[in-house]
């Protein structure tokens, strides 16, 4: 298979490379067709891929974003989004890079909402832009469930949208990215795989599953799980996962196939933007602004079994009356990110993730079966008020001899309520120095 892929690339590459003004859009369309035809990626027929519309927008300076929708099946919502954030040497000509990373979002948000739009400053700063401006080729995927609109009322198609579907689609995104890089003269080397939150669990699952393929068919060169665990040595955390899994399986059995968390979060962020002083419909006694800040700073209060104590998305400034402000991020940025939440997410995939953490032999799932077979370099990044140091344990189960971690923790564990939060990694005032630069440094060194 890989021989066919390489020969296909070599046959087409001269067309894209002969002219210094070769358009990135047509190159990407050709790469989609090649990837699908060669089974490098599990996507639809080449003629459909060729008709995909590739968009381009300038983000800041010479850093641009390309994006395209990629059909991965026959269903209405069997579509994933693919993003590329990269410097250009000329309009529509990506600059040469030797390092590349694929980024996978977590619950509620897609690539743009989680990573690209979450920068703390108005000049376009974000983790993807930071990495791209330092010569790293940044890719991102929008998992299929992020494309289901709030107006969709029949969600029965999500009944079996489990973890395996997203793992497969990550492989598709990686396969296409490698072909595109090869077409633009940047080699056919593997990409690092960065997964944040639920995306980190998916990254572990994908990297583990990939170990069962021949080395020449693997896409991942390094693993960057961000603020998450897949396995835990804490019996209370495991018990919480078991309870969540049971509740989620029961919902699916009862015909409730999708979680509407994002559909509830989005309006709260929007109200905080347009009517900050108005009374909150969700938090009696609070205005919309403070309701949105409380949701971010006291997320654990809304979770029956929080994954870690005092888990929160963004750190808050508290007094006796509650959350008065945000400690690590601009509230306006947090409201914007909150408003971008996607309405639906399949319960089946969430249940699969909790089943892996629960590790119940009576409900065995394969997504944690090959952690010991993962030998690629791994860099864990955590936030003290998110999963923090609790995420390190999963890395001890890997077979890699190159494992390191970077956890930003400002307070002792007993005061983790006050610490930097899960989304502050991307939207915090000091995110660039605290998180982005260590990630960039690790990628550059690997």
Is 147 within the bounds of a domain? yes
Per-10-residue mean pLDDT for the chain, 446 residues long? 36 30 49 61 51 82 93 92 95 93 98 83 81 98 97 96 97 92 87 99 98 94 99 97 97 96 94 98 96 98 94 97 96 95 98 96 93 99 99 99 99 97 97 98 98
Residues 6+ apart with CB under 8 A from 376: 207, 220, 221, 222, 223, 400, 402
Q: Report if residue 29 sits inside a domain.
A: no
Residue 265 is assigned to a structural domain of this protein: no
What is the pTM (predicted TM-score) of this model?
0.92
The pLDDT value recorded for residue 42 is: 61
**Is 306 contained in some domain?**
no
Determine how β-strand 63-71 pairs with β-strand 79-90: antiparallel
Here the CATH number for the domain that contains residue 230 is 3.40.50.1820
What is the per-residue burial (b if ≥16 Cβ within 10 Å, else e) of 170-187? bbbbbbbbbbbbbbbebe
For 374, what's the count of Cα atoms within 13 Å in the CB-facing half-sphere? 30
Q: How much is the pLDDT for 346?
A: 98
Distance CA 40, CA 37 (A): 8
Indicate whether 309 belongs to any domain.
no
In a domain, 247, yes or no: no
pLDDT at res. 30 = 65
**Residue 196's beta-bridge partner residues?**
226
pLDDT at residue 23, rounded to an integer: 44
Residue 342: Cβ-neighbour burial (10 angstroms; 0-12, 13-18, 19+): buried
Q: What is the pLDDT of residue 19?
A: 24
What CA–CA distance (Å, rounded) separates 421 from 372?
29
Enter the DSSP assignment of 311.
Answer: -
DSSP state of 200: H
Residue 48 lies in a domain: no
- CA–chain centroid gap for 88, Å, is 24
What range does the domain containing 132 cover? 59-234+358-445
Residue 35 lies in a domain: no
pLDDT value at position 25? 45
The Cα 359–Cα 407 span in angstroms is 25
- Number of structural domains (the chain) is 1
């Amino acid at each position: 298979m890989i021989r066919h892929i390489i020969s296909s690339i070599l046959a087409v590459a001269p067309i894209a490379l002969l002219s210094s003004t070769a358009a990135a859009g047509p190159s990407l369309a050709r790469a989609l067709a090649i990837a699908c035809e060669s089974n490098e990626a599990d996507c639809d027929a080449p003629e459909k891929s060729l008709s995909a519309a590739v968009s381009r927008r300038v983000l800041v300076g010479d850093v641009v974003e390309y994006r395209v929708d990629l059909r991965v099946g026959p269903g209405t919502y069997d579509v994933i989004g693919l993003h590329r954030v990269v410097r250009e040497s000329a309009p529509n000509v990506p600059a040469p890079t030797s390092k590349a990373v694929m980024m996978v979002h977590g619950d509620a948000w897609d690539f743009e909402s989680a990573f690209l739009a979450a920068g703390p400053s108005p000049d376009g700063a974000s983790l993807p832009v930071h990495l791209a401006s330092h010569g790293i080729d940044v890719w991102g995927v929008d998992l299929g469930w992020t494309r289901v609109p709030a107006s969709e009322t029949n969600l029965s198609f999500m009944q079996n949208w489990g973890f395996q579907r997203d793992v497969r689609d990550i492989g598709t995104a990686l396969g296409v990215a490698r072909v595109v890089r090869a077409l633009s003269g940047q080699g056919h080397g593997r990409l690092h795989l960065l997964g944040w939150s639920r995306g980190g669990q998916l990254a572990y699952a994908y990297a583990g599953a990939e170990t069962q393929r021949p080395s020449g068919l693997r896409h991942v060169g390094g693993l960057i799980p961000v603020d998450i665990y897949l396995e835990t040595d804490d019996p209370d955390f495991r018990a919480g996962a078991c309870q969540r899994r049971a509740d989620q399986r029961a919902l699916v059995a009862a015909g409730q196939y999708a979680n509407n968390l994002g559909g509830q979060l989005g309006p709260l962020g929007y109200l905080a933007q347009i009517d900050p002083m108005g009374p909150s419909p969700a938090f009696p006694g609070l205005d919309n602004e403070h309701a949105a800040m409380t949701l971010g700073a006291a997320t654990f209060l809304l979770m029956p079994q929080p994954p870690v104590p005092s888990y929160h998305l963004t750190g808050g400034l508290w007094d006796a009356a509650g959350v008065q402000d945000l400690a690590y991020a601009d509230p306006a940025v947090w409201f914007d990110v909150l408003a971008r939440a996607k309405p639906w997410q399949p319960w089946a995939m969430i249940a699969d993730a909790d089943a892996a953490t629960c590790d119940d032999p009576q409900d065995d799932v394969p997504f944690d079966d090959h952690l010991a077979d993962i030998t690629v370099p791994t860099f864990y990044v955590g936030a003290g008020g998110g999963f923090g140091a609790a995420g390190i344990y999963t890395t001890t189960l890997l077979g890699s001899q190159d494992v390191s971690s970077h956890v930003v923790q400002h307070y002792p564990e007993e005061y983790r309520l006050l610490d930097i939060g899960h989304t502050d990694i991307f939207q915090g005032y000091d995110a660039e120095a605290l998180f982005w630069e260590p990630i960039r440094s690790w990628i550059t060194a690997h």
